[in-house]
Chain A
Amino acid sequence: MGGGAAITAGLSISGCAEPGAVLDGAALDTLAAMSHHLYPHDRLDEAHYRTSIEGLEEKARLNSDIRSQLIAGVKALNSGASPSGFTDIDPADQFPIVESLEGSDFFETVRSHVVVSLYQDKRVWEKLGYEGPSFPFGGYLERGFDDIDWLPKTS
């Protein structure tokens, strides 16, 4: 199923990666699927996870070590799922494959990137209840800085 899997896996939600890209669409999809296991939130969509790994493309372009790590890492994720591709198998089956790579440079490169990019995404802020900049709105003085109303009464 190899070639067929490669063709179908290349069609991702966000479309293909740029021509001449270091990581192709299939690789980005695989990394996105991995990132979902790193920080799993039911309230977030595939689009958020896809965005969270896109910056790795640039890192790979600028740094050949990172590039090799990512290519080898994606390969390892796919081998773990073989004969299917990583993105074709059930998430429950994906998880142990991701977990098995913990401790590797690849794992840490992706994790340390995603933990910053995912929680810097303004759409994720909205989903998880972080209101972001407050200066443009005059701070929280009149916008609920002390509005908590459910605390137990103290004796």
Chain B
Amino acid sequence: MAKFELTDDTVVVVIGSGAGGGTLSNELAQKGVKVLCLEAGPRLDYTEDFVNDEWEMFDRLTWHDERTSSGSWKVAKDFPDLPAWICKTVGGSTTHWAGASLRFQEHEFRTRSEYGDIAGANLLDWPLTLEELAPYYDKAEDKMGVTRTHGIPGLPGNNNFKVLEAGARKLGYKTVHTGRMAINSEPRDGRTSCRQLGFCFQGCKMGAKWSTLYTEIPKAEATGNFELRSDAHVLKIEHNEAGKVSAVVYDDGSGKLLRQKARVVCVAGNSIESPRLLLNSASNLYRDGLANSSGQVGRNYMRHTSGTVFGVFEKPVNMYRGTTMAGLVGDEARHDPSRGFSGGYELETVALGLPLYGSFLEPGGWGKDIAWFIDRYDHTAAMWVVGEDMPQASNRITLHKKKKDRFGLPIPNVHYDDHENDTAMRNHGYAQGTRIYEAAGAIKVKAAPPFPSTHNMGTNRMSAKAQDGVVNQWGQSHDIDNLFISDGSQFTTSGAENPTLTIVTLAIRQADYLSSRLKMNEI
């Protein structure tokens, strides 16, 4: 691993080591660019530090720094202190994710054009098309080892998937399969294949699921152009008199604040921390925060419609055996306003162990009715509604007016109200999920409200025009040409697909652009 001086102003500083930051770091390092990655969380060893225990790994991987929530969304009521279930660790949320890797659909890059002007929604077309991204999606799928691409076989279906499949086929659904998953179905890229542990959310102890922790990061280190500093929480991004970013200030994990100079800064702290960092970096020149001339930093926060359907059967299912996201029904992902809403959703299996099931089945719930379900835990199947939610300018990350973190910086507040399109879509998803389980023989079905958001997008969105967003098609901020956004906060729409594949895809493309600009000394 390389070692850079704090005073080295020729390095690209990447903030965050997850799907965006980790991939960008490796892609740049492979091209000979000097990259320093600052990761707020610790560096774990997946063979030793990952354990098959839900609460223990929740404690170990999750971003626990204080956040507040507001708005009419149910998450603010059920989990007021935990609006998002994402990670603070090397690898970011790629340690926790389930591996689902679907490409966005063509129309999801131009929802404003396709859906029209939906009242209350801040719809906007991406400054990118599926056609432009396609070669990069291809590279990302190869990098991550996505099943059903590049000759990689699909994973086998577990019991939870078989229940979904049986019900879905009975109803006439056609797109029903075990997913395009970044989980090795056979040994590949120096990593072993899946043994259906059933603890995907708790970090893959096999290394079969793709995570930057044990792929991009070590590969970057091997180039000799890359340094990772973990337990390094970036607090502020600084700029010079010309308005270009010039350094970052971070806590080195011991309470000591250090200033690292930078030629370029790429922000990939996930969609709550990234806008927070820009806002907390406000200065005399940038009074509303960095890259925020449009006022869109922090706005348009999206988290997918979310919501879970649990089906109880007369005989055992044992949903926890094997992959958490074990397969999907894709027919509803289409845009079909005759259903009463714009955009679409995927139905994907999800599984919880008994510990988390108790807490998520009905947050705050208790008594005979809840116990009835928990008594039949091993007879339960579950699916999750991943639907495109509407960007709204008022759904946003803002700096809390009073509460500060241990460094004296305002903590973030996450505000979200469901748009009526979101509610209509979620209800449709609940209804269809119920029908699917009933078709498979369910004796009872229960819909559960969204968990703390595992998909977080949109808060530094791409736009063609500077006044509509924060970054251009390369993730480069409109206002400051050496400041980039490299995580899912770039997303202009949320689409009906899990975000990680698209984040990795954008990072590969951003690396191409950035490295060539650097080589030409244009940044």
Contact = CB atoms under 8 A, between A and B. Distances in A.
A110 B509 CA distance: 51
A129 B199 contact: no
Interface stretch (A13-21, A33-41, A79-87): A33-41
A146 B162 contact: yes
A42 B440 CA distance: 28
Contacts of A143: 321
A115 interface: yes
B45 to A, nearest CB: 14
B159 interface: yes
B168 to A, nearest CB: 9
A128 B170 CA distance: 30
A151 B163 contact: yes
Given A39-B371, A40-B368, A140-B196, A134 B52 contact: yes
Nearest to B156: A146
A128 B378 contact: yes
A111 interface: yes
A135 to B, nearest CB: 5
Contact of A148 (B317, B353, B358): B317
B23 to A, nearest CB: 27
A134 B315 CA distance: 22
A68 interface: no
B359 A152 contact: no
Nearest to A150: B315
A143 B158 CA distance: 11
Given A119-B357, A150-B315, A139 B195 contact: yes
A144 interface: yes
Nearest to B161: A146
Contacts of B322: 139-141, 145-146
A119 B315 CA distance: 21
Nearest to B165: A154
A116 interface: yes
Contacts of A41: 371, 374-375
Contact of B166 (A119, A124, A129, A151): A151
A89 B82 CA distance: 39
A118 interface: yes
Interface residues of A, number: 40
B358 A118 contact: yes
A155 B170 contact: yes
Given A38-B366, A128-B378, A135 B197 contact: yes
B377 A128 contact: yes
A136 B358 CA distance: 24
A125 B55 CA distance: 14
A132 B320 CA distance: 9
**From DSSP, what is the main secondary structure of chain B's interface residues?**
loop
Contacts of A12: none
B441 interface: yes
Given A41-B371, A41-B374, A116-B55, A146 B158 contact: yes
A105 to B, nearest CB: 13
B440 A152 contact: yes
A130 B317 contact: no
B263 interface: no
A138 interface: yes
A104 B441 CA distance: 39
B358 A133 contact: no
Contacts of A39: 358, 366-367, 370-371, 374
A140 B321 contact: yes
Nearest to A120: B355
B355 A128 contact: no
A132 B51 CA distance: 11
B162 A140 contact: no
B118 interface: no
B425 to A, nearest CB: 26
Contacts of B366: 38-39, 111, 115
A116 B359 contact: yes
Nearest to B366: A38
B157 interface: yes
Contact of B321 (A125, A138, A144): A144
Q: Which of A40, A148, A151 has the most CB of B within 10 A?
A: A148
Interface string B312-341: 000111101110000000000000000000
A108 B77 CA distance: 14
Contacts of A145: 156, 158-159, 196, 198, 321-322
A90 interface: no
B53 interface: yes
Interface string A66-104: 000000000000000000000000000000000000000
A147 B359 contact: no
Given A146-B158, A148-B162, A133 B53 contact: yes
Nearest to A115: B358
B6 interface: no
Given A139-B198, A140-B321, A147-B159, A132 B52 contact: yes
Contacts of A130: 320, 353-354, 377-378
B374 A148 contact: no
B359 A133 contact: no
Contact of B354 (A119, A141, A144, A148): A119
A140 B197 contact: yes
Contacts of A119: 354-355, 357-359, 374
A145 B161 CA distance: 10
B201 to A, nearest CB: 13
5 contacts: A130-B378, A131-B318, A133-B53, A139-B206, A141-B194
Interface of A: 37-43, 108, 111, 115-116, 118-120, 124-125, 128-136, 138-141, 143-148, 150-152, 154-155
User: Which 3 residue pairs across A and B have the least CB separation, nearest first?
Assistant: A139-B195, A129-B378, A133-B52
Interface of B: 51-53, 55, 156-159, 162-163, 165-166, 169-170, 194-199, 205-206, 315-318, 320-322, 353-355, 357-359, 364, 366-368, 370-371, 374-375, 377-378, 439-441
